[in-house]
Amino acid sequence: MRWALVRVSLAVTVMVVLAFAVPLGLVVKELARDRAFADAERQAAQIRPALAITTDREQLERAVASSQAGGDGRLAVHVPGNDGTRQGAGPDARGARGPHEAYDIGRRRADPRDVETARRGRSAVTSVPGGYALLQPTALSTGEFAVVEVYVPHRAVGNGVTTSWVILAGVGLGLIAGSLATADRLGLRLVRPAERLAKAAAELGEGKLGVRVREAGPPELRAAAVAFNSMADKIVQLLSHERELAADLSHRLRTPLTVLRLNAASLGEGPAAEQTRAAVAQLEREVDQLICAAREQGERKERPSLGCDACEVIRERMDFWSALAEDQGRAVRLAGVDTTVRVPVARPELVAALDAMLGNVFRHTPEGTAFAVDVHRSEDAVIVLVSDAGAGIADPDAALRRGHGDGGPGSTGLGLDIVRRVAESTGGDVRIGRSVLGGTEVRVWLSLGGTGKPRRRERRRRMRSRRSGPDTGRDAAG
């Protein structure tokens, strides 16, 4: 916007300057020309009295030499010949010394034909080498016309024009510079509040909930800043209420968990009792983490995630789920978890994502269905594949939509949405396809760059391919 205003101001100012400066420059040139020829006419008029009383060459030469133009060599007089027939005929003929031939006083520059034309009583201006010649006819006592020629050089015609043009150009450039400076300041006054608003919106989108915009600038931008600050305050308030609600709901689970723990303690010994007690202990830890996260999220400052070892988390969760898989007769394959692979995901979040994917396998495939977990590492990403030999998912895109699907009793439809949010928090994504085992393959792509921005191309692809209708396969979002 700033540069657009500057360009518009530049174009308008240049047009205005040209509209006034060009005609004014031409007027200055014409005034200089008129001034030069008016001066030449005055120089010619100084010789007229002498020509009116005499045609004597010596007297005329003295008259020419006494004038300014004659002294500069710019004045010439062309006197026609006289046969003496009117000699002594009266006072008009005094000063004539008998018949004489035509003669010139001073340097002739004009063409003889132009001089002869001027002798007919018509003034003329003709071009000569180096300038112009003013031919002024003057009546003699004999009835003939002498021609006074005044030479006007080009420098006299253009005297002061260049200086005037330079001054006009300087004034025009000054106006243009002033207009550009004014437009730039005006654009800056408009752009800076908009830039602050855009920056604040970006920071708010990154999770900096304390960002606010200074209410400055034009009225429209001030109103936008007020609306943005009000929206940010509302978001903070809603998130605070959400955190309090999550903490309260998690705290309410303590009582039934305590009952479960006491009942599990009375089950005695055996694998089933140990598994039940381990599950209750794990559930208690998860509830404690939810409460701590909900309480601390509103106070902690934004800091980089320390991440966790993905292979360690996967091995731990597979140990937990393998016992249930053994009871149900499921073949389990685990690959690629022998090394340390750190990902920019908090451990509780990765545990929740893995439990969601593995829980879907147990919930939506029959007992005895095999499944596998594979981990692949590249330079910039970690890929976790969870595959099964079940019936597959009829609508993968719908399964990724939050709360979609009918997973049966106990299904919230949020399982794969949790996985998707974990992946997109790193800049990765989630894809559902057909596995080599014949069933569903959930591919989780975790970026190691930690950009926190989901892959837009994949999101656009999902939006284009999003369809409505019932999900006839198993609900992987349960």
Check whether 43 has a pLDDT greater than 70: yes
The answer to whether the beta carbons of residues 250 and 291 sit under 8 Å apart is yes
State the DSSP code for 82: B
Instruction: Name the band, by pLDDT with cuts 50, 70 and 90, for residue 471.
Output: very low
Q: Among 164-168, 188-192, 442-446, which stretch is predicted with the lowest mean pLDDT?
A: 188-192
Mean pLDDT for the stretch of residues 377-383: 89
Please, what sign has the CA dihedral across residues 69, 71, 72, 78? Answer: positive
| Cβ atoms within 10 Å of 263's Cβ, excluding its own | 12
CB 341 within 8 A of CB 380: no
pLDDT of 473? 41
Considering only residues 240 and 381, tell me which one the structure prediction assigns the higher pLDDT. 381
Amino acid 116: pLDDT: 85
pTM, 2 dp: 0.44
Average pLDDT over residues 207-227: 85
Q: What span, in angstroms and rounded, lies between the C-alpha atoms of 298 and 300?
A: 6
Q: Specify the residue for token string 């409460």.
A: 291
Cβ atoms of residues 373 and 385 within 8 Å = yes
Q: What is the pLDDT of residue 458?
A: 46
Average pLDDT for 124-129: 88
- Strand 342-343 versus strand 381-388 pairing type: unpaired
Q: How many of the other CB atoms lie within 10 Å of CB of 182?
A: 14
- Decide which of 330 and 252 is more confident: 330
pLDDT value for 426 = 87
- CB-count exposure of residue 177 (10 Å: 0-12, 13-18, 19+): exposed
The string of pLDDT tens digits covering residues 61-74 is 888 888 888 888 88
SS3 of residue 139 by DSSP: strand
Residue 59 confidence (pLDDT): 85
Q: How far is CA 279 from CA 274, 321, 433, in A?
A: 9, 11, 31
List, in order, residues 6 or more apart from 433 with CB less than 8 Å away: 396, 440, 441, 443
Mean pLDDT value across residues 456-476: 42
pLDDT score, position 314: 92
Residues 244-299 pLDDT 10s: 776 666 667 766 777 777 777 777 777 777 778 777 777 777 777 666 665 555 45
Token reading at 113? 């034909």
The mean per-residue pLDDT over the stretch 346-371 comes to: 88
Across 194-223, average pLDDT: 84
* pLDDT at residue 475, as a whole number: 40
Write the pLDDT tens digit of every residue in 140-183. 877 788 888 899 898 888 888 888 888 988 988 998 898 888 88
Section 367-392 average pLDDT: 91
